[in-house]
Structure 1
Amino acid sequence: MTLVSKLLYAVSTLVLLHSGFSSYEFHHLLKLKSLNSAQTVIHELPKDIKYEIYVGLVLFVLAVFTSFEKLQYLPIESNDGMIISEGNYLKEIALNKATNVDNLIGSNPNGEIVFTPSFVDVHAKRKLSREWASNNEKKEK
């Protein structure tokens, strides 16, 4: 956890505790006022207490997000005990180096996208069906 996240946690905790205490005081004073007067009026929290709660929650969420660190893993296969962090888990590769064998044999690694054998030439199929229909009409006559 970084110093920034610890500071944000501390500030957000203080702000939320202060807003909770302010809310308690407001409701306590509201009860005393309603006991002294015959009118019982329902009051909402003042806007400054609401805003203080929102600011405390936003600071807390920011503290949570800034406290995330890089993930670290212990490799399964090697026994040297070296911890792998997120930055060096996979090594950079060049696509042309990875596809040297495909290039040498004339295969395209993106073949399913480039070559679409499932598409049908509709005009050629219509021409064939017209020829078939005309041949069948000639045979029936």
Structure 2
Amino acid sequence: MTFVSKFLYAVSSLVLFHSGFSSYEFHHLLKLDSLKSSHFFWSKLPRDIKYETYAGLLLFVLAVFTSFEKLQYLPIHSDHGMIISQGNYLKEIALNKATNVDNLVGSNPNGDIIFSPSFVDIHAKRKLSREWASNNEKKEK
């Protein structure tokens, strides 16, 4: 957690505490005034207390987002136990250069994933099954 996020947490908690206390005071004074007078009415919360609460909530949300740490990963091969942090990713591999030999030979290293059998001609299969069915009917008679 950075200093900025800690500072925003502190300020937002103070602002929210102050707005809550101001709301308590307002309602307390409203009760006292209503006991003195014969008519009882409810008044809305003043705008400045509402705005103070909104500002406190906004600061709290900003504090939450600034408290996120940078992502860190463990490397695949740890020679020195070094942790890869954000921005120090593994180098990209040009797959077309890595598979030049396989492409020339006609082999596909990802064959299990992308291999699909050739499509079946359904009309030819139906014709064969009709012929088979008609031949079996003739044999049974």
What TM-score, normalized to structure 1?
0.66
Cα gap change, 1:49 to 1:136, in 2 (>3 Å): farther
- Aligned residue for 2:87, secondary structure, equals helix
Give CA deviations for 1:32-55 in whole Å, capped at 9, x if unaligned.
133324555566644553443233
- Aligned residue for 2:68, secondary structure, equals coil
* Match in the other structure for 1:24: 24
Give CA deviations for 1:55-107 in whole Å, capped at 9, x if unaligned.
322321122212323234566833x4544312224222222234345435423
Say whether residues 1:132 and 2:127 are aligned partners. Answer: no
* Match in the other structure for 2:94: 94
* Match in the other structure for 1:53: 53
Matches within 5 A, 1:34-49: 34-37=34-37, 45-46=45-46, 48-49=48-49
What TM-score, normalized to structure 2?
0.66
* Match in the other structure for 1:64: 64
User: Which residues of structure 1 form unaligned runs of 5+?
Assistant: none
In structure 2, distance between residues paired with 1:8 and 1:122:
68
Amino acid across the alignment from 1:58: L
Matches within 5 A, 1:108-123: 108-109=108-109, 111=111, 114-117=114-117, 120-123=120-123
Give CA deviations for 1:87-131 in whole Å, capped at 9, x if unaligned.
224222222234345435423355456542396543333222212
RMSD: 3.5
* Match in the other structure for 2:78: 77
Counting matched residue pairs gives: 140
User: Which residues of structure 2 form unaligned runs of 5+?
Assistant: none
